[in-house]
Chains A and B, each alone.
Chain A
Amino acid sequence: AQSVSQHNHHVILSEAASLELGCNYSYGGTVNLFWYVQYPGQHLQLLLKYFSGDPLVKGIKGFEAEFIKSKFSFNLRKPSVQWSDTAEYFCAFTSSNTGKLIFGQGTTLQVKP
């Protein structure tokens, strides 16, 4: 079955700490990978995406993610978090023959000022 596993359900960091959120997907074919973010009181918005090419992709607000095909992983990173990064983060993918997004359960990030 197609699925996404996000390893951390709730992460608490202090400002300036480094962030890495784990994401593993389960699917045997070609995938397109996404990280979405939902800030408090706002709707889901795209943080970054990977379709092909360089497996290290950069998104908005200093976030980046690395696709490691052999590990079926797409971990999200940021070298130095800010209080404004407090949000819920969702990893997701689509397969090449369908547009439906398969989401992980989400990781709540709380950044303490």
Chain B
Amino acid sequence: GAGVSQTPSNKVTEKGKYVELRCDPISGHTALYWYRQSLGQGPEFLIYFQGTGAADDSGLPNDRFFAVRPEGSVSTLKIQRTERGDSAVYLCASSRELAGGYNEQFFGPGTRLTVL
């Protein structure tokens, strides 16, 4: 079956612009996660959804970042007024359900965001 897909694979934008990154999870997975990976670092948690609601958004760095999952499937990560420091690979993962952390998360290929 299809894995987690993310679009676009690469996004180059200018400082101050708005961007949207899309994640399409594995069918039937109710939990969806966003991570950000900077060069030479491990992925850093941003937000996760259980169904349509954000269960934990404690990793969002500031109010320029926002994510939605209106129908409990596809999710969009939105970044307003992008800054050069936002440049990173944005990873999406999904899992069957959130049950005490006993979940294997399946990762997508990521979106490489470059802010000029």
Question: A residues near B, CB below 8 A?
Answer: 4, 31-32, 36, 43-46, 49, 51, 90, 92, 94-106
Q: Which residues of B contact A102 (CB under 8 A)?
A: 45
Q: Find the B residue at minimum CB distance from A49.
A: B104
Could you tell me the distance between the alpha carbons of A32 and B33 in the complex, rounded to whole angstroms?
A: 17
- In Å, the complex CA distance between A48 and B16 comes to 41
Give 29 A-B contacts (CB < 8 Å), ordered by A residue.
A4-B42, A32-B101, A32-B102, A43-B107, A43-B109, A44-B91, A44-B93, A44-B107, A90-B42, A90-B43, A94-B101, A94-B103, A96-B100, A98-B56, A98-B101, A99-B33, A99-B55, A99-B95, A99-B101, A100-B33, A100-B48, A100-B56, A101-B45, A103-B42, A103-B43, A103-B44, A105-B40, A105-B42, A106-B42
**B105 proximity list for chain A (CB < 8 A):** 46, 99, 101
Q: B interface vs A, CB < 8 Å?
A: 3, 31, 33, 35, 40-45, 48, 55-56, 59, 91, 93, 95, 98, 100-110
Which residue of A31, A98, A102 has the most chain B CB atoms within 10 A of its CB atom? Answer: A98
Distance of A77 from chain B, by nearest CB (Å): 20
3 tightest A-B CB contacts, nearest first: A103-B42, A94-B101, A44-B107
Closest to A88 in B: B42
Distance, CA A105 to CA B109, complexed state (A): 18
Distance A31 CA – B101 CA, assembled complex (angstroms): 8
Q: Which A-chain residue is minimally distant from B108 (CB atoms)?
A: A43
Closest-CB distance, B21 to chain A (whole angstroms): 15
Evaluate contact between A99 and B91: CB separation under 8 angstroms: no
Q: Please indicate the chain A residues that have their CB under 8 angstroms from the CB of B45 in the complex.
A: 100-102
